[in-house]
Amino acid sequence: MSEAKLGGRFTFPKTSLTVQRMGYGAMQLAGPGVWGPPKDPGAAVAVLREAVAAGVNHIDTSDYYGPHVTNQLIRKALYPYPAGLVIVSKLGARRPPDRSWERAISPEDLAAGVHDNLRNLGLDALDIVNYRVMGSGHGPEEGAIGEQISVLADLRGKGLIRHIGLSNVTAAQVAEARAITDVVCVQNNYNLAHRNDDALIANLARQGIAYVPFFPLGGFTPLESRTLSAVAVRLGATPMQVALAWLLQRSPNILLIPGTSSVAHLRENLAAAQVTLSPEHLAELEGIASP
């Protein structure tokens, strides 16, 4: 697949890391509830290999997916990693045996999280690590994050992390982190129907910082909308492709990491980069956002 077919390229600010705008999110590869191994580990490996074979060079993961399972699958499928593959991980949580998501934000927790990622991915250093704030579920919550960002900056000083990003954050938290260190990306919940970050995206675009929506397709309950389906029919595309094409057209600093456990869905999602939405389509899709 040619590079243009994956949405063009984006270079993370002040880095030598350039990725295709169409990437892949690996969370769906673990078992149900992002816990334990998937039913068919071979299928998960096939999805990862297909993504990279198609030209994807940006994979989002975390060691607490599984836990450990997703990173172990990435290593199994792709190690030794092809040149130019950027694996982005995240820290800030752990999964206790009751399968909940617990904060893991002390300096010791963060350092242990980096070492878990390095061991399970088989790397000496992580390209980008997002500090994932455990706010209120899948939405951010105000609160100081400077202490954790300083710990990540120290881990970067030790050569274990190359660049720092943020996840599930408010504009104030982005500003707080940027006063401490360079931030290369922000990963928040955003899609056609959930647009709390419109202003933040514009602000980050001005700084050249990547905005990487999680739940680009709606997450655990994929987007369903009569308008979306109607536009898709007119374009000869699928609703999921229109949702992804909308994000690509929304702002040049948006990078996509749609998640799937299926090779067929992966192919469909990557092909969304070839869908062009007219001003009329865009105006119609505006109506989907919740007020």
Ligand X SMILES: NC(=O)c1ccc[n+]([C@@H]2O[C@H](COP(=O)([O-])OP(=O)(O)OC[C@H]3O[C@@H](n4cnc5c(N)ncnc54)[C@H](OP(=O)(O)O)[C@@H]3O)[C@@H](O)[C@H]2O)c1
Catalytically active residues, by annotation: 65
Nearer to ligand X, 23 or 277 (CB): 23
Q: State the residues that interact with ligand X by CB under 6 A.
A: 25-28, 60, 90, 132, 167-168, 187, 214-219, 222, 240, 257-262, 265, 268-269
Measured between alpha carbons, how far is residue 8 from residues 79, 242, 255 in Å?
Answer: 25, 17, 10
**231 vs 151: CA distance, rounded Å:** 46
Distance of CA 193 to the CA centre of its chain: 18
* Lookup: tokens for 264: 């067929």
Nearer to ligand X, 68 or 132 (CB): 132
Nearer to ligand X, 159 or 261 (CB): 261
- Phi and psi at 93, nearest 5°, equal -140, 165
Please choose, from the candidates 216, 164, 207, the residue with its C-alpha nearest in 3D space to the C-alpha of residue 188: 216
Q: Which residue number places its CB atom closest to ligand X?
A: 259
Amino acid at 185: C
CB of 129 to ligand X, least distance (A): 12
CB of 100 to ligand X, least distance (A): 15
Nearer to ligand X, 113 or 259 (CB): 259
* Lookup: tokens for 133: 């704030």
CB of 46 to ligand X, least distance (A): 13
**8 vs 146: CA distance, rounded Å:** 34
* Lookup: tokens for 22: 């169409």
CB of 279 to ligand X, least distance (A): 25
Q: Are strands 185-187 and 102-103 parallel, antiparallel or unpaired?
A: unpaired
